[in-house]
Structures are given as structure tokens and as C-alpha cells.
Amino acid sequence: MRQAKIVIVGAGLVGGSAALFVALAIPSAKVVIIDVARVRAEGQVLDLAHAAAFWGHSRFRAGDYEDARDADIVVITAGAGVKPGETRLHLARTNADIAAGIVARIAPLAPDAIYLIATNPCDVLTGAVYDQLRDQLRCERERVISTGTSLDTGRLRSLLSERLGVVASAIHAYVLGEHGESAVIQWSAATVCGMPLETFLTRNGKELGPASRDLILRSVHEAAKLIKEGKGATHYGIASAIGRICEAIVHDTDLILTVGIVQPEVEGIPDVCVSLPMVVNGEGARLIAYPELDPVERAALLGSARIVKEATQNVLHER
């Protein structure tokens, strides 16, 4: 069996943490870290090699773009971070230019790679990268993936686990739309322990009314801010999501995750990248069936799609 090669571009906290989670999830994979500052990539690899001495993985490498040749997955974590008072969308132009430069260097070397975009705003950047690769390589939309709301969904399930007193893996509830302020919780389809959320609440004498649901949504939106106030950066959560997505691709597992690709249409908005429950496997990510939404959720998802579409069009227009 061919050994998977995963290239991570960006050796900051997210890139370094992603390399660790990828190696833990896929012990056989070769992990190459590329950074504009080679010494930073080398530092991450040295630290990871010392950690790997305890559990056997020794296939980390600091490289340059030539080392991305024949990569199976290219993970983009490089870019500017959100500053106080900004939203993820404020970064669109700067980080789209960075991503475009990365893709231009790697695409000729790894024409069959699947791209995973974690740099914010990840949905807008995924739209821009797909536009670039479609023109350059006629790349299928399924092969350019935004980490999207996979982390938001994890945060939601963690919050509900604490509130409901059950393990997060027993909760199936999704955050849809933009990875940002317009994200939507699909309450209407949420299940706990195999039963509809409302049934679970009734049978356990618990309450989760509109005020509580609004608070949970705000907590999902504000999680990154709270983490940054406490420790300066958020990286373990998104790195874990990256590891899980890469694992699903390499092992071809048909895992359902809320990630984004450029969908042909979402709530009437054409060619827009927002997150929906997608099957992730060796072909990339694709939508099996459009989710069943109530009227409030549909309106909210429409609003989210409009925001991402407008921001993406602005980036593409400025090229």
C-alpha cells in the first residue's frame, strides 16, 4: 500500500498541532511541514520528533515546495490571524493572496492532491482556491475542502454534553453555514442517544428553551475569543479537526463531517462554500443528501450563504 504523504503549509501553532494530530490519526503517513521561515518548520519537526520518540512515529520532515511533489493532501494553515475587533472575514484579501501563492507553487507538483483549507476565512478561501484550481487543473469541487464548521460542531457537542450529562459522541447535532458569526445550529434534526432531542429532554426532565439555545449558539461563536483571552491562541481544536478529516480521506472511511466545498447551489445561492453534513473519503467531500431544515434554519442558512458568497466575489473581483 502506498504511504500517504500529507503536506502542511504553515508552521505556526495550528500547523504544528495539526502535524501531531495527523500523525496520531494516520501513523503510517509522511508529514511534511513547509513554512516561509524554514527555521520555524525545522523547529516544529524537531519538537515533534522528540514527542514521537514515545509512540514510534518518525516520519516528520521540514521541507520546501519541491517536497510537496506527489502529495496526497495539502493542508493550508498559513496566513494572518484575527486581530481584536476583527472578524474572520476581515482577513479575506490578505489570506486569499497567501493561499493563491501556495497553490500556484504546489499544484504543478501534486496535480492529484486534495486541498484542505484551514486558514481563515476558510470558506471564502476555499472558494478562491477552487476557482484557481478549476482553471489551472480542472479540479473537481470535491477535492477542495474547507474545515468549515467541523470545529463549531465539535464545540456544540461539547457544550451539549455538559448541559445534558451524556458523552459528546452520543450527540448528533450539527452547525451549518459559515465558519463565523452567521453559523446556524440545526436544532430540528438533533438527536441524543438515538432519539430526537425533544424526546430526550422530555424523558429526562430537562429544558433547552429558546434563550438557552441562543446562549449555546453565542457560546459556539465566541469560543475562539474566550480561548484566545485565556491562552493567546486557539489551535488544538482545529488541529484535531484537520487530523480527523485527513484520516477520513486517507482511510476512505465515508465519515460524516460538517465541512465545506463549493456547492452548486445552497438555498438559491449559486457556487458558494458553506458547511453541510458531508461524506468525507478518498475522493474528497461530497453531499449525499441536502439536510432537512425548518423555516427558521433555512432563512438563517440563506443569510450565511449570502455573506460567504459576497465575500468570495469581492476576493475574486480583486484578483
The whole-angstrom separation of Cα 285 and Cα 70 is 20
The one-letter amino acid code at 239 reads: A
Out of 179, 221, 235, 317, pick the active-site residue: 179
Torsion angles phi and psi, residue 297, rounded to 5: -65, -40
Separation CA 51–CA 29 (nearest Å): 16
β-sheet bridge partners, residue 286: 279
Cβ distance 131 to 155 under 8 Å?
A: no
Active-site residue flag, 235: no
Query: 25: which DSSP letter?
Result: H
User: What beta strand segments (E) does 10-58 contain?
Assistant: 30-34
Write the DSSP assignment of 94-121 as a string of letters.
HHHHHHHHHHHHHTTT-TTPEEEE-SSS
Instruction: Map grid coordinates 482545529 to a residue.
Output: 238
Q: What angle do CA 238, 101, 38 make, to 5 degrees?
A: 70
Which residues on neighbouring strands pair with residue 30, listed in sequence order? 5
Biggest alpha carbon–alpha carbon distance for the chain = 59
Which positions are annotated as active-site residues?
179
